Amino acid sequence: MPVSGSPTSDDLGEPVPVRAPARVVSLVPSLTDAIETTRSGLIVGATEYCTHPESLDVPRVGGSKYPNVDAVLDLDPDLVVANAEENRPEDVERLRANGVPVWVTAAAASVPAGLASVRRLLTQGLGLDEPSWLPEAEGLWRDAQPAEASAVIPVWRRPWIVVGRDTFAGDVLHRLGIRNVYASHDDRYPRPPLEELRASGADLVVLPDEPYPFTDTDGPEAFPGMRYALVNGRYLTWCGPSLVEAHAHLSAVL
């Protein structure tokens, strides 16, 4: 049922009716984790990439970039959550045209900005109490450690794509004392040739297992003589409850 009062706005400034939704479809894996961990049962549909919480058992509506909008509408949600970077504007517009409120989060450039965005979604968009994991994550990630290493952070190969400026993953590493050599690049996700990556001056290659599933035998061989670290991609790129355990995990691996 709608809550009386004026609509609030999502991260992009679009008005969203203030509601106490009971049926939420999430098109963003990290937001699925944040919502379901905070209030189990609200999520009634999610993407195939929404792997956490592992107990989540709901209908799947395709991928984040290309969801099955008809499948979303068939679930009769009273709110859909999306992200400006992960989801296509045309899908958001079609959902809204069919009368479904959509809350779109911004592509966070830092850990504090990401957690602030999630707080707004949970407390203002969904009308929930602030979960205990959120201030715990904020405390763990508040300060940045002095830089002790420089790194390139590939997220794809064929072609090679790396983390550039103003990214959540780059700020995660910054707060752990790892300097991203592409942090001042014009693009958020540059596509430099492999020869440039090898000659970047980095002394570390950080290889997450998502979106590209780098492994000991797929990725490190492209950087002979360079130290590498395989990391859990969810810990590096998801803004949600996983940030609590991510700090200790990434600190140990890196």
Domains of the chain, residue spans: 8-110, 140-253
**Does domain 8-110 match CATH 3.40.50.1980?**
yes
Question: pLDDT tens-digit profile of 203-215?
Answer: 999 999 999 999 9
Whether 148 shows a pLDDT value over 60: the answer reads yes
Range 101-123 average pLDDT: 96
Residue 214's pLDDT is what? Answer: 98
- Alpha-carbon span 189 to 85, nearest angstrom: 12
At residue 130's C-alpha, the angle toward residues 126 and 136, to 5°, is: 135
Range 169-176 average pLDDT: 97
Q: Grade residue 120 by pLDDT with cuts at 50, 70 and 90.
A: very high
Residues in the chain: 254
Q: Express as a percent the part of the chain with pLDDT over 90.
A: 93
- Alpha-carbon span 156 to 210, nearest angstrom: 8
Whether 6 shows a pLDDT value over 70: the answer reads no
- Alpha-carbon span 185 to 152, nearest angstrom: 12
Residue 20's pLDDT is what? Answer: 81
Instruction: Find the helix packing angle between 168-175 and 111-120, rounded to 10°.
Output: 120
Whether 3 shows a pLDDT value over 60: the answer reads no
CB-based contacts of 150: which residues, under 8 Å, 6+ apart?
178, 179, 180, 181, 201, 202, 203, 204
**Does domain 140-253 match CATH 3.40.640.10?**
no
**Would the CATH topology of 8-110 be identical to that of 140-253?**
yes
Q: Grade residue 1 by pLDDT with cuts at 50, 70 and 90.
A: very low
Residue 141: Cβ within 10 Å count: 21
